[in-house]
Amino acid sequence: MTNNIYLDNAATTKTDPRVVEAMLPYFSEIYGNPSGLHKTSLKALEALTKARETVAKILNCTPQEIIFTGSGTESDNLAIFGAIEANQTKEKNHIITSSIEHHAVAYPFEKLKKQGLEVEFLSPDKYGQISPSDFEKAIKSNTLFASFIYANNEIGTINQISKLAKIAKEKGVIFHTDACQAGGALDIDTKNLEIDLMTLNGSKINGPKGTGVLYVRKGIKIAPQILGGSQEFGLRAGTENVPGIIGITKALELAEQEKIQNNERLIKMRDQIINFVLKNIPLTRLNGHPKERLPNNINISFLNTEGESLLLHLDKEGFQVATGSACTSASLEPSHVLTGIGLPKELAHGSLRITLGKETNQENVNKFLNILPNIIKKIRDISAVNFTEKDYPDFF
């Protein structure tokens, strides 16, 4: 193996060296507990306060609306369980999400359903978008809360979050969006989006793992889910991870500064891969929206293949990709996102998610496209199945 080309940036990203540099002093120099009163603690508190102000400026909100957490998953859980616990009544117990959310949203909704709440999972269209009109029709007099992913982590489809949020606002429904994949790629101005709650994740934007942000609009009540101290305005107990907070703040700052230039570069390479595969490899289809998709996301199904086999063959050649969400990569079940947009299991099982990043360059893309057709042919030559376009006329 001569290559070592990482194409799985939707799962996690390499921490930017500038982020690491910004974090280093807070491990062994400015190491105080921000809750203390002596000068070592006060220096840490000063850094924490400045970080909160920086994130608030980027999101166009106040520092008091920023909660630092330990991950995107924790932020999602705090938003969902916290808002529902604080606001649920007998008259308001209906909640809405989609059938293709990240499991950090889907599993909390399933748990709430078991606890007796009225839960509605809306189906997306064939591209993975939730129709604003479908959402509006689903809202009832007892609807309390809704959550829709901003940009899907598997197929890259971008939802019309501002339209969905506006409908929720008009109907008096608390609205949350998981924007973990949107950071550094899409508009995350909270005033433009008109959302009530928004989740961000450091590891998706070349920041450190184990860091997250939850935006909570002023006036939205949420109940803490981790109890103990009064940190994070009483909403998230536990000594703050100051190095991690500095890291996610620096990563978010850099991502916003470099967003336009980075998006242009990624879109060019993304479209090159998509166009090459669809033109040169038969029995392939693009999953997700052809245009309204993340700049770095390519999700393609290859008929008569297995995604796991594709992944292992590519890994052997030095290319690291995914078959679906990293959180379920060990599962033998087809992706709930792909089946949720209507793909039969034969196509869902034969899918690859290729996600580009800051370090992806044209040489990487050329090497990948040079080797991919041969790997597909090799796998198909020994495949026990031999479906054709006629077997799936609606998908090719």
Report the alpha-carbon distance of residue 139 to residue 19 in Å, rounded.
42
Of the residues 24, 42, 327, 385, only one is catalytic, namely: 327
Question: Residue 59 — left, alpha, or beta (φ > 0 → left; ψ -120 to 50 → alpha)?
Answer: alpha
61 noted as active-site residue: no
Report the alpha-carbon distance of residue 49 to residue 344 in Å, rounded.
50
Report the alpha-carbon distance of residue 130 to residue 146 in Å, rounded.
12
Report the alpha-carbon distance of residue 153 to residue 203 in Å, rounded.
13
Report the alpha-carbon distance of residue 273 to residue 295 in Å, rounded.
12
CA angle 383, 387, 388 (to 5 degrees): 130
Burial class (CB in 10 A: 0-12, 13-18, 19+), 291: exposed
| Strands 319-320, 297-302: pairing kind | unpaired
Catalytic residues: 327
